[in-house]
Amino acid sequence: MLKILRHKKTAKKIWIGLALIIIPAFALWGFGGASCSHEESRPLGKIFGQAVSNLEFRDSLSAVTTAAIMQYGDKLPEVAKDLNLEAQAWERLILLYEAKKRGIKASDKEVIQTIENLPYFRYKGRFDNRIYNQTLQYVFRLKAREFEEQMRANLILNKLYQQVTGSLNLDDKGKEEKFRNFIIDLNKKAQ
C-alpha cells in the first residue's frame, strides 16, 4: 500500500479524490449555517414599522424569563402559565423602543452598582463574584454579558417608568394604572 502511495501520479489522484469529497462537504456545511443565521435574523414581527428579528425577540423573552425567575424562584413552574411571558417580551421590546426614542440610557456604573446590590449575589453582606458566576450559570443559564445587558435594559425601563409617572402626585397604585395606560397606548401605536 505504501509503495502505491509513493507514486506521484497515484498520490495526486488520491488528493484530488479527497478534495472532491471534502470541499463540497464544507461548502454545504457553510451554506447550512448561513441559512440558520438567516432564520434567526428573519423578521418575527414589527414594532413602530421596524422589523423585530427572531434573535431580538428571543433576547427579550430571555430577559422576562430571568425577571420571572428572580421574582418567583422555585415557584415559577407553578405560575408560568399565568404570566404570558411572550406577551411580556413583546411589551418589553415596545417599551425599550420608546425609551430609545426618548434617549434614555443607563451607564456601566449604574449597571455594576445595581448588580452588586442584588441580594442573590451577596454573601455576608458583600457582593461575591463566585456566587454571581455560579448563579448566572446554573440558575439563569446566562453569560455575564447577557445578564448585564438585561440589567441595563431593566434600568432603562425603570427610568422610563419614572419619566412617565414621576411628576404625578399619585400613590403607587395610581402610578401603576397610569403606566399601564401608557403601555396600552404604546401597543396601539406600535401596530
Summarised one tens digit per residue, pLDDT across range 91-126 is 999 999 999 999 999 999 999 999 999 998 999 999
The Cα 142–Cα 136 span in angstroms is 5
pLDDT at 35 over 60: no
Higher-scoring residue by pLDDT: 117, 35 = 117
Backbone angles phi, psi at 21, to 5 degrees: -85, -45
User: Looking at residues 77-102, what average pLDDT do you find?
Assistant: 91
Contact 167, 152 (CB under 8 A): no
Segment 163-166 long-range contacts (CB within 8 Å, at least 24 positions apart): 163/102, 163/104
The C-alpha atoms of residue 75 and residue 165 are separated, in whole angstroms, by 31
Rounded mean pLDDT of 149-161?
94
Q: What digits encode the pLDDT tens for the residues 175-186? A: 788 888 888 888
Give residue 63's pLDDT: 94
Residue 189 pLDDT level (bands cut at 50, 70, 90): confident
pLDDT at 129: 93
**Rounded mean pLDDT, 139-144:** 92
CA-CA distances (angstroms) from residue 155 to 39, 114, 125, 180? Answer: 30, 9, 23, 18
**Per-domain residue ranges for the chain?**
2-40, 55-190
DSSP 8-state class, residue 107: -
Q: CA–CA distance from 5 to each of 9, 13, 164 (Å)?
A: 9, 10, 78
- CB–CB of 30/39 below 8 Å? no
pTM for the structure as a whole: 0.73
Residue 30 has pLDDT above 70, yes or no: no
